[in-house]
Chains A and B, each alone.
Chain A
Amino acid sequence: MARKKKKVPEINASSTADIAFLLLIFFLITTSMDTDKGLARRLPPPVPKDQEKKDVEMNERNILVVLINSNNQLMVNGAPMQLGELRKKAIEFIKNENDDPNLPEREVVDVEFFGPMKVSKKHVISLQNDRGTEYQAYIEVQNELVAAYNEIRNEISKRKFGKTFDELDEAQRKAVATIYPQMISEAEPKNYGGKK
């Protein structure tokens, strides 16, 4: 009994494309492609309640006071300033290349890869704002300050390793960060200026 081989009927696959299209469109719609980006910051730990607020004595030359008032105007160390000039000012302040007595003091620190380097490790950029300041203005100032640090870090990384700061490995990055430590202090909130 020679049985004829039964032919398996082929499955009609012409609709798979449509099904896949439907799924595709669904995912296209629900997708939010925006990768979250932002300015990373670290807040200072909370002040213990029983501890009295005491002002830490700091040499005035080590502090760069950046104030933003409720009209989003900028004042740096007592003088009004445009946002565009802030980066240059901050870089000048952090680096203090000529050991200017009005700019932060520098100490010789032994840094890996670099050897002894003069580091202005006591400098602080104190960022103060009013309750009425707009968030956009605040972010712009933060951005300029971070940009200042990034710029000088990149500069020294390029000179020493021929790479940007982001491309360095962990140890190298740490060394560069020792030379230019990021010290942006977000002060305890105070009220400046009139309108709230």
Chain B
Amino acid sequence: MGKFTKSGGREMPALNTSSLPDLIFTLLFFFMIVTTMREVTLKVQFKLPHATELQKLEKKSLVTFIYAGKPTAEFRKKMGSETRIQLNDKFAEVSEIQDYIAQERQSMKEEDQPLMTVSMKVDAETKMGVIVDIKQALREAQALKINYSAISKN
């Protein structure tokens, strides 16, 4: 009855890994495409508020960001723990927003300028006083399209 039992252990065939680099490359390209590198280093920390009726920000090139929140731990000694505004890479006052917006607008293509959107990334616990000031500054700067950045709540 030894017909079916082969003598000599069967050897496990080596797994063909020649397509592995290709697979990894596909993954790599996927991530390269979806990646948006962070352009600014955040100096304030914020937890965005939650909301349900959200719209996506379409073109990244049209969007200017304004951050506001408490300074991160390393800046807390210098700046205190009051809510601060961050434009680009540095802390700023409300009065500087107008110049900042004008500058950002200058750097855009002319046909894109009316489509400029300002996205406000503000900590959920911020008092509205700061935000009202920012909004007034944006109005003065004629940046009327704004977007309150939020996280979707399911």
Q: Which residues of A contact B (CB under 8 A)?
A: 13, 16-17, 20-21, 23-24, 27-28, 30-33, 35-46, 129-136, 138-140, 142-143, 146-147, 150, 186, 189, 196
Q: Interface size bucket, B side? A: 35 or more
Residues of chain B within 8 A of A132, CB atoms compared: 127-129
CB distance from A77 to the nearest CB of B (A): 21
Known: A20-B24, A135-B49. 19 other contacts (CB 8 A): A17-B21, A20-B28, A28-B31, A30-B35, A30-B38, A31-B31, A32-B38, A36-B57, A37-B56, A38-B148, A39-B54, A39-B55, A40-B146, A40-B147, A43-B143, A131-B129, A135-B131, A139-B150, A147-B52
A196 to B129: give the CA distance in the assembly, Å.
8
CA distance A132 to B132 in the complex (A): 10
**CA A130 to CA B129, docked complex, whole Å:** 7
CB <8 Å contact, A35 and B128: no
Whether A43 lies near B20 (C-beta < 8 A) is no
Chain A contacts of B146 at CB under 8 A? 40-43
Chain B 20-49 per-residue mask, 1 if CB under 8 angstroms from chain A, else 0: 110011011001101111100000000001
Q: Which residues of B approach A to under 8 Å, CB–CB?
A: 17-18, 20-21, 24-25, 27-28, 31-32, 34-38, 49-57, 63, 117, 119-120, 122-129, 131-132, 135-136, 138-140, 142-152
Contacts of A46 in B (CB 8 A): 139-140, 142
Total of A-B residue pairs, C-beta within 8 Å:
147
Chain A residues closer than 8 Å to B139, beta-carbon distance:
43-46
Residues of B within 8 A of A143 (CB): 51-53, 150
Chain B hits for A196, CB < 8 A: 127, 129
Nearest residue, chain A, Cβ from B19 = A17
Selected contact of A189 from candidates B24, B122, B125, B136, CB within 8 Å: B136
Candidates B21, B50, B127, B144; contact of A45 at CB < 8 Å = B144
- B residues less than 8 Å from A40 (CB atoms): 55, 117, 145-147
Closest to B20 in A: A17
> Which among B27, B147, B151 is the interface contact of A24 at CB below 8 angstroms?
B27
Contacts known (A39-B54, A41-B147); A17 close to B128, Cβ less than 8 A: no
Q: How far apart are the CA atoms of A87 and B86 in the complex, in Å? A: 34
When the two chains form their complex, are residues B31 and A27 in contact, meaning their CB atoms are under 8 A apart? yes
State whether A38 and B119 are in contact (beta carbons under 8 Å apart), knowing that A46-B142, A138-B131 are contacts in the complex.
yes
| Complex Cα spacing A55 to B62, Å | 35
